[in-house]
Chain A
Amino acid sequence: MEPADPPDSKTAGAMGVDIRLPIGLMFAIIGVMLAAFGLFSESSIYERSLGININLIWGTILISFSLVLLWLGSRKRRPD
């Protein structure tokens, strides 16, 4: 058996790159794009989504999700 590393030494990825940051950034960009498009798009395109402005709603949810990921990824960076 290989000796196990202490569990608190690793948080979110090898090689000095915390995976939560790029994922958070990607969802932030996509979320902003969707929400902005939702704000300025005509309401007629939402007939198929049952009258719900799904772009604005889902864009906002993705922005919130991205903020959580970015926060998790940026707190207590361990010194490498």
Chain B
Amino acid sequence: MNLTYIDGLIILVYFGFVLGIGFVLKRYTKTSKDFFQAGRSMPAWICGLAFISANLGAQEIIGMAASGAKYGIATSHFYWIGAIPAMVFVGLLMMPFYYGSRARSVPEYLRLRFDEKTRGFNAISFALMTVFSSGISMYAMAKLIQILHIFDTPLRSIGLGPEYVFHVCIAISAVIVLVYVFLGGLTSAIYNEVLQFFLIVAGFAPLIFLGLKRTGGWYGIRQTLSPALTHTWEGMGSSSTNLMGIEAFGLVMGLGFVLSFGYWCTDFLVVQRAMAADSMSAARRTPLIAAIPKMLFPILVVLPGLIAMATPSRDPGHSQYTGLIPYKVVEASGELAYDQNGKPELDYDLTIPVLLLNYFPTGILGLGLTALIASFMSGMAGNVTAFNTVWTYDIYQAYIRRNASDAHYLWMGRMATIFGIGASVFAAYIATRFNNIMDILQLVFAFVNAPLFATFLLGMFWKRATGHGAFTGLGAGTLAAAVHHGLTLPVGSGVGVKGGWLGALYTYPSEMAQNFWTAIYAWTTCFVVTILVSAVTTPRPDRDLVGLVYSLTDRPKDEPLAWYSQPVTLACFVLGATLLLNILFY
């Protein structure tokens, strides 16, 4: 399948608009507050869509469709259990402290609430993680385009062979994101995230429409596929009766509580979008508005996996049980990859691209590919803007140059953008040495983020928690995650990046189960150690904690909004609708 001129033109129109937004916003970006905080002037709906779009990166679209094909509709747990409750919590209960305090970033909140060392620990680990994630995004996009051979012909016309596809993709995505973030900072990133959000929906909606039409709708998919793939809760009673290999407790505690709250409530990448809002009420509504598309996203990103499994393959030699999903090929030898039972493995990461190529003729194929590129870029820009802010405010201003002019920090933010993208490119090339991007991300995420939510929970809701307690707790939590990972292995895996490097004492039925339990151990350790150390160290006086701790802060008064746009009303609606979705797809 080769692209024609119309597909190329659509991609170029998209590039033109994202760059154009950067150039238009450059003249409005005069202070560091404009650059890092979008002037704190965004209305709630824009922040809400940016909030969701910044999270909708490569890992999300490709990984969730892959998971949808592998584990079925139960992948929606990553949304309905693993996102919505945490998004409601951060909007209703945590945003007053983020937005209402003087903090400009999540690490800065930690400095105000606890102390310098806790902020430093969080700032440095977060900065590393954003660069890493952004590099993974780039790697995933470039690799996918390379495997699909869709840009081979246009590149050949300018005299470059297919071996250059990977490098050209990395270079183009890096330069475009660099230009628009460099020029317009967070405003530019947020505006482009809103544009990318609509583009992603516009690109994937017709795919779902055609896919459902071909497979006979949800009813037809249920007739074609095994019941294990079309239920979210059935079989979750025990880890041996569902495809994910996790039992309901591990799922709800590990994913639904620790990992989900750890990400949505403390990750500056998303929180930064809400902190750019124009008022306290807009900041609180940001995650709640974001939750509305988020709860429906399984239709856009998980359902394609099921459609791919249920669509009959045009290749007569292909097994009818694998739908469109191709077999996995070992890159080095060119032979099929086999699992521990000797069955050929499927290359689930190709779910979205094979669907696009199967259902889309030229023209709309260009739009579908643009949607895919847009998702990569929004995820990457989210990481880059979070990185340049944390670097400039929490590392550079805190430890390197304390009292420089605002113009200097604005300059440093732009330099950090260049450096951050350069480091991401480096990370992308490191990623070429690993193959399962989701696993590695989950791992880093569990080590660094899982204990963090315990720190914030205690920090915001227990005024007795101390800086020493928080810092020791975080360190102990991260260590507990590493030790747990080192002592356990998912079934069928070798010692190494999958775990067991301290000696495999326990074997989990799946990698997902191991990840969730790593998070649970990390969180619990951090929670307990923070309480114990806080109990024997001196707390800060109450007057220092006003605006930072729940019991010492006035309840936020909402503006006179219509009842249906009050944060509490939105929260009830979102939770009710999510519950309904869980029941419908039980």
Interface residues of A, Cβ cutoff 8 Å to B: 1-2, 4-7, 9-17, 19, 22-23, 25-27, 29-30, 33-34, 37-38, 41, 45-50, 52, 54-55, 58, 62, 65
Contact = CB atoms under 8 A, between A and B. Distances in A.
Interface in B176-220: 187, 191, 194-195, 198-199, 202, 206, 210, 213-214
A25 B20 CA distance: 12
Interface residues of B, number: 51
Contacts of A29: 13
B438 interface: no
Contacts of B100: 1-2
Contacts of B34: 15
Given A4-B280, A33-B10, A50-B214, A38 B363 contact: yes
Interface string B401-414: 00000000000000
By secondary structure, the B interface counts as helix
Contact of A1 (B20, B214, B359, B554): B554
B43 A13 contact: yes
Contacts of B279: 2, 4-5, 7
B505 interface: no
B13 A33 contact: yes
B310 interface: no
Nearest to B196: A23
Contact of B360 (A5, A25, A27, A54): A54
Nearest to B213: A50
Interface of B: 6, 9-10, 13-14, 17, 20-21, 24-25, 28, 34, 38-39, 41-43, 45-46, 96, 99-100, 187, 191, 194-195, 198-199, 202, 206, 210, 213-214, 278-281, 358-364, 367, 547, 554, 556, 559-561
A14 B42 contact: yes
A62 to B, nearest CB: 6
Given A34-B367, A48-B361, A58 B206 contact: yes
B202 A27 contact: yes
Contact of B364 (A6, A11, A16, A55): A55
**Smallest CB-CB A-B distances: 9 pairs:** A14-B41, A15-B28, A4-B279, A55-B363, A45-B361, A1-B100, A26-B17, A37-B363, A10-B43
